[in-house]
Amino acid sequence: MNRYDEAIGRSEQKEFLLGRGEYFYLDMNWGDHDSSLTAYDQLEYAKQHSEEKLQSELSKDILNTLQDGNISVKELVTLIDYVSIYLIKKTKGDYKTDWKVSGEIKALIKGQIISKELLGLDLSDLRKGLMLMKSQYGFSLD
């Protein structure tokens, strides 16, 4: 069974998305969670079910995780990574359908960014990544 299926079956989608507990994949270069391996699990989920079902589940789970609000900057970056990786994989032909990220998810991401900057946290790298996503793939939080 796919790890995303397992997480859904256990109601552990947030843990899966954020790489917590048994869903943690060690990034040997940086020492934290490797979101690209979780994204691979998402690709396998799409192959087993459908891209539309993945998009629906992933949108719902990202929305719920953002609504919880109790996430770190790194975890916020991880959630944004999933959108970026999807766009990259679509460009490479791994995905055939566009993922229309909802306005609600975009607004929550913007809100998280603003609230973390108000706390004095530096999100310049995250903002550069979002600019890159816009220039290369047309993805914007607007």
Q: Model confidence over 52-89: pLDDT tens digits?
A: 999 999 999 999 999 988 899 999 999 999 999 999 99
Q: Model confidence over 23-53: pLDDT tens digits?
A: 999 999 988 899 999 999 999 999 999 999 9
Three-class HEC string of the chain: CCHHHHHHHCCCHHHHHHCCHHHCCECCCCCCECHHHHHHHHHHHHHHCCHHHHHHHHHHHHHHHHHHCCCCHHHHHHHHHHHHHHHHHHHCCCCCCCCCCCHHHHHHHHHHHHHHHHCCCCCHHHHHHHHHHHHHHCCCCC
Largest distance between two CA atoms of the chain: 43
Nearest residue to 22 via CA among 33, 68, 62:
33
Q: How confident is the model at residue 1 (pLDDT cuts 50, 70, 90)?
A: confident
Provide the pLDDT for residue 8: 98
Q: Model confidence over 98-141: pLDDT tens digits?
A: 999 999 999 999 999 999 999 999 999 999 999 999 999 999 99
- The region, left, alpha or beta by phi > 0 then psi within -120 to 50, assigned to residue 21 is left
The residues, any chain, with a CB within 8 Å of residue 41's CB and separated by 6 or more, are: 2, 3, 4, 16
